[in-house]
Chains A and B, each alone.
Chain A
Amino acid sequence: MTEHDRNAAAYWSANLRLIIGSLIVWALVSYGFGILLRPMLSGITVGGTDIGFWFAQQGSILTFIVLIFFYAWRMNKLDEEFGLSEE
């Protein structure tokens, strides 16, 4: 394995770790808080209803936006760190 290959492999596994972490949050807010865990969280109220309803109709969408921008920002830094950015 050359130095170049090792660098590339490290970059790819950093990307995979970032994706897995982001997708855990992605699944937690929608499938978790919004659907499966809703009955467990019914004690927490938001604006006249429970927090599960809020996540299903609003919270998950807001989280998705934050996730994509976080991912884009982190990947740009990784591109630079590993010398793989386009310029």
Chain B
Amino acid sequence: MSQFAINLIFVGGSFALYIAIAIWARAGSTKEFYVAGGGVHPVMNGMATAADWMSAASFISMAGLIAAGGYANSTYLMGWTGGYVLLAMLLAPYLRKFGKFTVPEFIGDRFYSKNARFVAVACLIIASVTYVIGQMTGAGVAFSRFLEVESSTGLIIAGVIVFLYAVMGGMKGITYTQVAQYVVLIIAYTIPAVFISLQLTGNFLPPLGLFSDHIESGVPLLQKLDMVVRDLGFVDYTADVSNKLNMVLFTLSLMIGTAGLPHVIIRFFTVPKVSDARWSAGWALVFIALLYLTAPAVASMARLNLLTTIYPAGPTADAIEYAERPDWIKNWELTGLIKFEDKNNDGRIQLYNDSAAFKATADERGWNGNELTVNNDILVLANPEIANLPGWVVGLIAAGGLAAALSTAAGLLLAISSAISHDLIKGSINPDISEKGELLAARISMAVAIVVATWLGMNPPGFAAQVVALAFGIAAASIFPALMMGIFSKRVNNKGAIAGMLAGLLSTVIYIFLFLGWFFIPGTATLANTPDNWLFGISPLSFGAVGAMINFIVAFIVSSATEPPPARIQELVESVRYPKGAGSATGH
């Protein structure tokens, strides 16, 4: 059977499963559409949260980033998991107790202000729409590589599948498909990792393999990798980072951004009780950790495998001849994600760090510049081929990558559509809308959001990589502090909250635009995006944490200069703090 047929069976099979779930889990009420009826078991919600949270970025890109950056990119591992500690202790149980359908609804009620609710809706939509673009483009890459269709055809297929279960089933359909998608993606991610860990270290558990000895050389894997990359002029894989302030702030931005992302928070509205929300955050992190503990092993092992493929006799001996390159390099060259240019015309592939410090060694070896560029994103997708694993593992990876992208896209689309139908239409434009009317409005907003997301996926703005930073920055600087102050302070009032959110949002967005271009239009950046220009060496991607601090400070100053919130708001804060009398999520 051809590889194409195998891929088709795996991807087609997983899609058939999602459609079957969509037919089985239709939503009959707004409560089912927004919060899956409020009766999801905490372990199951943990699994759905893991799929909801782990996006194309986690599945496809993260291991590649760590492989390229080594220790320096540990920030993603700590940042994207540490946020769950904040969610479990600072947000999820209290918002579950509040018992409404959306994040802006809490902000609007707690700060007794429609304007606060509007600001929250705006932040939610900007963060979620920018995030969904990344998912759709990720799905497009997986389709074009594995199913050999145009990426736009692939996107339309993906859009139709999401449409079926998200529009029909709402949160109920999304929850059960996310559980299935989690199972698909975690199997797809771990199986190749287990084989590779066995091949390289003899340990079948990748997280243990990472800290074991490399079989061939007998030295620890990480030391072997350090030696190989050093011989090619790269920075040591385990080398320390000098700009620690930026590393701390970037990790913090990812953590509070994770905790403030609305599509993750609303998953905790679906469990029956406050205590379930706490347990569920723990289960979510267990399921997430299965991938996040495997990723650093995949990263280091794939990097070593790649370099051994290019330099079969070691990094100081001759590189492989281009004519004898393995099939996977040929396959990925077709997508343009691997590029080769024979700069010294010796017919061999020299892959090394083209730096000034390494120039003398390169000249001595007759090298005339790095000849192979490998896009970080292919690492996980090409992993089974690099390790010579059987064809069905490749098919599995294709289905897993699509599961990761589609499950996150569906969660984001639900957050967007509920903000429109519940916060804007029911909350403001037409408060007297009937239950049936609101459900229809929710379905229509979802359908429109899917069409817009698919279109954006086909015509991605040239800044797809940067927008993810924007999504995290906004969630960190505006939504997280507003929610936290709403729960932990009785003194922060409507004026303080709005001023704080706007100050956090604007400072973060302006700092990002200064370096990455105004509204991301290429060529409009005010300052070159280099560490010398950054304020105290803080990169635009790390600024969300600073924006959050600005939000807190402004909110406290403005609140203390104005009147305290009315007594009924103080009572509301009291009531979210105590689990007794939680009841289930309601719209009123």
Give chain A's interface residues, CB within 8 Å of chain B: 8, 11-12, 15, 19, 22-23, 26, 30-31, 34-36, 38-39, 46-50, 52-54, 56-58, 60-62, 64-65, 67-69, 71-72, 75-76, 79, 83-86
Contact = CB atoms under 8 A, between A and B. Distances in A.
A58 B296 contact: yes
* Residue of B74, B207, B221 with most partner-chain A CB within 10 A: B74
Chain B contact residues, majority secondary structure: helix
A53 B251 contact: no
A24 B74 CA distance: 20
A35 B247 contact: yes
Interface stretch (B285-293, B383-391, B410-418, B450-458): B285-293
Interface stretch (B19-27, B272-280, B428-436, B492-500): B272-280
B71 interface: yes
Interface size class of B (residues with CB under 8 A): 35 or more
A56 B78 contact: yes
A23 B89 contact: yes
A75 to B, nearest CB: 6
Contacts of A22: 85, 89
Contacts of B74: 34, 53, 56-57
Contacts of A85: 275, 579-580
Given A47-B212, A61-B293, A68-B85, A76 B220 contact: no
Given A49-B211, A76-B275, A12 B577 contact: yes
A86 B71 contact: no
Given A22-B89, A58-B207, A65-B286, A49 B582 contact: no
B219 A48 contact: yes
A28 to B, nearest CB: 12
A33 to B, nearest CB: 11
B467 to A, nearest CB: 26
A8 B251 CA distance: 35
A46 to B, nearest CB: 6
* Residue of A11, A48, A62, A67 with most partner-chain B CB within 10 A: A48
Contact of A72 (B252, B279, B580): B279
Contact of A8 (B238, B281, B578): B578
A71 B78 CA distance: 19
A68 B579 contact: no
Contact of A61 (B240, B282, B292): B292
B88 A31 contact: no
A63 to B, nearest CB: 9
Nearest to A16: B488
Contacts of A34: 74, 78
26 contacts: A22-B85, A23-B85, A23-B89, A35-B248, A47-B222, A48-B222, A53-B222, A53-B238, A56-B71, A57-B77, A58-B207, A58-B210, A58-B293, A61-B293, A62-B289, A64-B82, A65-B282, A68-B84, A68-B89, A69-B279, A72-B275, A76-B275, A76-B278, A85-B580, A86-B580, A86-B582
Given A8-B577, A48-B222, 17 more contacts: A12-B577, A22-B85, A35-B244, A35-B247, A48-B219, A56-B78, A57-B74, A60-B81, A62-B289, A68-B85, A68-B88, A68-B89, A72-B278, A72-B279, A72-B282, A79-B580, A86-B579
Contact of A30 (B71, B251, B274, B574): B251
Contacts of A36: 244, 248
Contacts of A62: 289, 293
B223 interface: yes
Nearest to A87: B273
B213 interface: yes
Contacts of A15: 577
A47 to B, nearest CB: 3
B90 interface: yes
Interface in B259-318: 273-275, 278-279, 281-282, 285-286, 289, 292-293, 296
A31 to B, nearest CB: 5
Nearest to B581: A86
A11 B574 CA distance: 12
A30 B76 CA distance: 12
A36 B244 CA distance: 7
